[in-house]
Structure 1
Amino acid sequence: MTEDQALMVQKFARLRGLDAEAAPLDDPTGEWRLYRDGADVTAQVVAALKEAFARPDPAPVRGFIIPTAASR
Structure 2
Amino acid sequence: MSRKYIDCREFPSETQCSVALSADSEKELLDAAAQHAVSVHKHTDSPELRAQLKTMFHDGTPPLEARRV
Same fold (TM over 0.5): no
User: TM-score, length-normalised on structure 2?
Assistant: 0.28
Q: Which has the larger radius of gyration?
A: 1
Point out which structure has higher relative CO (alpha carbons under 8 A, 6+ apart). 2
